[in-house]
């Protein structure tokens, strides 16, 4: 597949490739050069909260912690 670089440096990714690779609006692409070749990779974006969810070990339930914060225990 081929695409033409527009005057402003923009390129349209062919629809078949976008569909196959799951490239949708707002997808972040990373560009790099390797031995004269342009390499484009789709980056995996994660929500910062999701990235740390469950990373702290708890010795008691969330309900117990919330009850304590509310002064119920």
* pLDDT, tens digit, 9 for 90 and up, residues 17-55: 999 999 999 899 999 999 999 999 998 877 777 777 777
Q: Give the CA-trace dihedral at 19, 21, 22, 28, to 10 degrees.
A: -130
In a domain, 4, yes or no: no
- Is 59 within a domain? yes
Is 10 contained in some domain? no
Domain-embedded: residue 7: no
Name the residue range of residue 29's domain.
15-69
Domain-located, residue 64: yes
| Contacts (Cβ under 8 Å, ≥6 apart) of 17 | 1, 23
Residues comprising the chain, all counted:
73
| 1 domain residue, yes or no | no
Residue 6 lies in a domain: no
Residue 6 pLDDT grade (very low, low, confident, very high; cuts 50, 70, 90): very high
The DSSP symbol for 30 reads: E
As for how many domains the chain has, the answer is 1
36 phi/psi in degrees, rounded to 5? 85, 5
């Amino acid at each position: 597949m081929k695409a033409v670089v527009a005057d402003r440096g923009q390129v349209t990714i062919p629809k078949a490739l976008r569909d196959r690779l799951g490239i949708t609006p707002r997808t972040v692409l990373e560009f790099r050069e390797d031995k004269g070749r342009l390499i484009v990779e789709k980056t995996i974006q994660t929500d910062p909260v999701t990235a740390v969810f469950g990373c702290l070990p708890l010795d008691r339930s969330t309900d117990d912690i919330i009850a304590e914060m509310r002064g119920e225990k």
